[in-house]
């Protein structure tokens, strides 16, 4: 594992901490709202995995691209997307980030470089590669960062994207959040190697990189290195971040297929208290950290109120935005 970086400054750490706290509080509330019936359909929480999102987000340039999965709330928030339209989208309201058309699994905010959440496992790896190719062609210096799960390493598009990205030296960073499970099946039960991403790196001529995904500093260090490498034209990286989701896979899944001790052990390694400890040890005072918690809670409350107050989408939007002309006409 990459060691925790010595050189990360206090401000960066505080930014990461704030991001993690905001993600956590928003998702905890989203979960409650799901049980209240306000969040409809499905939702996949990244509670426990926030350090990956935060560690990368602070290493990215504003114009870099993020591609993530249905478990994408953290990554979307971390790029600076406001909470209210995210919650409103989960509620299916007209002020939702996607006008209610996409839902929890497809959060996207092009203005923030959040280029989409993808709900078919593996699909976004080639798409992220394409964005990186575009940056390379346009010589824009942008980098694409693509997050996906351990289960995703077994699908074909993972393989195709990794190979083509290396051949093209595309500026893309592939980040496997190994949370140990696909939906309900432990990754080890269906994977030929122990480290689903890192043990595949050499198949693409890449270095295996494993990082403690619950340590924002450590994530940040490998992120900064990989992004710099991509930006310098040296090609892609594949990073495996070891982490855990505290809850179930989605919706009401209680995650009972996991041994209690395993859950307890990982919860003891919760990235947010760890970050708090580290900041305290580095001399940040309790009040500053408490203020972050309170501000985040207040932000969530405001966002929730806004989303609750938002109207349902108007029926007129049903048939808009299939085409670039704004409509959906397929005939004259």
Partner 1 sequence: MAELTYRAAIASAITQEMDRDPLVVLIGEDIGAAGGVFKLTEGLLDRFGPERVRDTPISEQAIVGAVMGAAMTGLRPIGELMFSDFFAVAWDMVANQIAKTRYMTDGQIALPLVLRTANGGGLRFGAQHSQSVENWAMAIPGLKVVAPSNPADMHGLLAAAIRDPDPVIVCEHKALFAVKGDLPDGEHVVPLGQAAIVREGADCTIVALAAMVPRAAEAAERLAADHGIDAEVIDLRTLIPLDAAAILASVAKTSRLFTVEENPRVGGWGAEIVALVADEGFYSLDAPLVRITTPHIPLPSAAVLEDLAIPTTDRIVETIVRRLDEAK
Chain residues in the site for its own copies (CB under 8 A): 154-160, 162-164, 166-167, 189-193, 199-200, 202-206
- Residue 202 binding partner per list partner 1, ligand TPP, its own copies, none, with a CB distance cut-off of 5 to 8 Å that depends on partner kind: its own copies
Nearer to its own copies, 2 or 162 (CB): 162
Task: Annotate 251-320 with DSSP letters as a single string.
Answer: TT---TTS-HHHHHHHHTT-HHHHHHHHHHHTT--HHHHHHHHHHHHHHHHHHHHHHHHSPPPPGGGGG-
CB 304 to its own copies: min, Å: 41
CB 328 to ligand TPP: min, Å: 25
Task: Please pick, from the candidates 161, 222, 230, 239, the single residue that binds partner 1 as defined by CB under 8 A.
Answer: 161
**How far is it, in rounded angstroms, from Cα 87 to Cα 71?**
14
- Residue 191 binding partner per list Mg ion, its own copies, ligand TPP, none, with a CB distance cut-off of 5 to 8 Å that depends on partner kind: its own copies
Nearer to ligand TPP, 112 or 249 (CB): 249
CB 281 to partner 1: min, Å: 40
Residue 152 lies near ligand TPP (rule: CB under 6 A): yes
Residue 152 lies near partner 1 (rule: CB under 8 A): yes
- Alpha carbon of 161 to those of 27, 30, 144, 156, 296: distances in Å? 30, 33, 13, 9, 37
CB 10 to ligand TPP: min, Å: 31
**How far is it, in rounded angstroms, from Cα 332 to Cα 330?**
7
Site map 84..123 versus partner 1, x via CB under 8 A: --------xx--x-xxxxxxxxx-xxx----xx-xxxxxx
Residue 149 lies near Mg ion (rule: CB under 5 A): yes
**How far is it, in rounded angstroms, from Cα 295 to Cα 128?**
33
Residue 143's closest CA among 64, 219, 61, 57? 64
Interacting residues with ligand TPP between 221 and 260 (CB under 6 A): 249
CB 191 to ligand TPP: min, Å: 10
**How far is it, in rounded angstroms, from Cα 311 to Cα 323?**
25
CB 52 to its own copies: min, Å: 23
Owner of token pair 């790896």: 125
Owner of token pair 């029926």: 315
- Residue 152 binding partner per list its own copies, Mg ion, ligand TPP, none, with a CB distance cut-off of 5 to 8 Å that depends on partner kind: ligand TPP
**How many Cα atoms within 13 Å fall on the side-chain side of residue 209?**
24
Residue 173's closest CA among 213, 120, 110, 131? 131
- Alpha carbon of 180 to those of 34, 75, 151: distances in Å? 24, 19, 8
Number of residues forming the site for Mg ion (CB under 5 A): 5
Residue 323 lies near partner 1 (rule: CB under 8 A): yes
- Residues near Mg ion, by CB under 5 A: 149-151, 179, 181
- Residues near ligand TPP, by CB under 6 A: 71, 119-121, 148-152, 179, 181-183, 249
């Amino acid at each position: 594992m990459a060691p925790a970086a010595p050189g990360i400054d206090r401000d960066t750490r505080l930014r990461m901490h704030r991001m993690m706290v905001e993600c956590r509080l928003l998702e905890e509330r989203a979960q409650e709202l799901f049980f209240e019936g306000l969040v409809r359909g499905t939702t996949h929480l990244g509670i426990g995995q926030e350090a990956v999102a935060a560690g990368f987000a602070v290493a990215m340039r504003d114009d870099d691209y993020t591609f993530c999965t249905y478990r994408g709330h953290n990554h979307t928030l971390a790029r600076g997307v406001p909470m209210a339209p995210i919650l409103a989208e989960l509620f299916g309201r007209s002020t939702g980030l996607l006008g209610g058309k996409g839902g929890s699994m497809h959060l996207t905010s092009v203005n923030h470089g959040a280029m989409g959440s993808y709900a078919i496992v593996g699909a976004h790896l080639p798409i992220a590669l394409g964005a990186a190719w575009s940056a390379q062609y346009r010589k824009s210096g942008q980098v694409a960062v693509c997050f996906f799960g351990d289960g995703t390493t077994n699908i074909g598009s993972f393989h195709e994207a990794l190979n083509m990205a290396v051949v093209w030296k595309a500026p893309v960073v592939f980040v496997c959040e190994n949370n140990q499970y696909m939906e309900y099946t432990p990754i080890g039960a269906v994977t030929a190697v122990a480290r689903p991403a890192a043990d595949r790196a050499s198949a693409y001529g890449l270095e295996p990189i494993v990082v403690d995904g619950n340590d924002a500093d450590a994530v940040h260090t490998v992120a900064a290195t990989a992004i710099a490498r991509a930006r310098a034209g040296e090609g892609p990286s594949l990073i495996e971040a070891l982490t855990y989701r505290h809850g179930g896979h989605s919706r009401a899944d209680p995650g009972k297929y996991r041994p209690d001790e395993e859950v307890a052990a990982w919860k003891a390694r919760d990235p947010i208290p760890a970050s708090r400890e580290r900041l305290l040890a580095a001399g940040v005072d309790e009040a500053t950290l408490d203020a972050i918690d309170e501000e985040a809670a207040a932000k969530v409350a405001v966002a929730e109120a806004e989303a609750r107050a938002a109207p349902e989408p108007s029926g007129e939007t049903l048939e808009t935005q299939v085409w670039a002309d704004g409509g959906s006409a397929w005939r004259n």
